[in-house]
Amino acid sequence: MRFSTTLALPVAREPLFAFHTDPANLSVLLQGWRATRVLSTAGHIRPGARTEVLERWGPLALRLAFEHFLFEPSERFGERMVRGPFRLFEHVHRFRDEGGRTVIEDEVELALPVWLGGDLALRLFVLPHLRRFFAFRQSAYVRLAAEGRFGPAPGARA
């Protein structure tokens, strides 16, 4: 199953992408999202780097591990779950310029094993959670851009 979102921000692509190259900024981006806590990172996001998080789903606490497999500076990067309940979970982040803004496109390919409910569980439980997660993350991007966390807007005067 595929899930995707798009967000345009009034920031330059290079500093926005650079923000993501420091995995410690995942905690900055998710500040206030109580379901996810970053446990460890490799300190970079180049292929082979791993990030571990604790994800809460109601009363369950799952320790998940993601490994980066794609890194094309200022254009895209991606990670896949290597520890967790999913049979497939790959997330690719794409960055492109559009009319003085940077568009972030997120695409997630995911599948659960049949014994965990397969596509039915994805539609009933996982996709609603992902929609809430990405809506939260998008509002965090907007807030961080307004705070100047990604540098001045393209064309802004110094």
- Residue matched to tokens 């571990």: 52
Local confidence pLDDT in tens for the 158 residues of the chain: 999 999 999 999 999 999 999 988 999 999 999 889 999 999 999 999 999 999 988 888 999 999 999 999 999 999 999 999 999 999 999 999 998 899 999 999 999 999 999 999 999 999 999 999 999 999 999 999 999 998 766 665 54
Report the DSSP pairing between strands 36-41 and 60-72.
unpaired
Q: Check: CATH 1.10.580.10 for 2-146?
A: no
pLDDT of res. 35: 87
3-state SS class at 7: strand
| Cβ 95 vs Cβ 102: under 8 Å | yes
pLDDT, tens digit, 9 for 90 and up, residues 83-106: 999 999 999 999 999 988 999 999
| Cβ 20 vs Cβ 29: under 8 Å | no
pTM for this model (two decimals): 0.92
Angle CA(27)–CA(32)–CA(34) in degrees, nearest 5? Answer: 90
Give the C-alpha distances (Å, rounded to integers) separating 26 from 38, 140, 151. 8, 11, 18
Give, for 141, the enclosing helix (H) or strand (E).
Answer: helix 127-146
pLDDT of res. 60: 86
Contacts of 51 (CB under 8 A, 6+ apart): 23, 26, 38, 40, 41, 42, 65, 66, 68, 79
The CA-to-CA distance between both ends of the chain, in Å, stands at 45
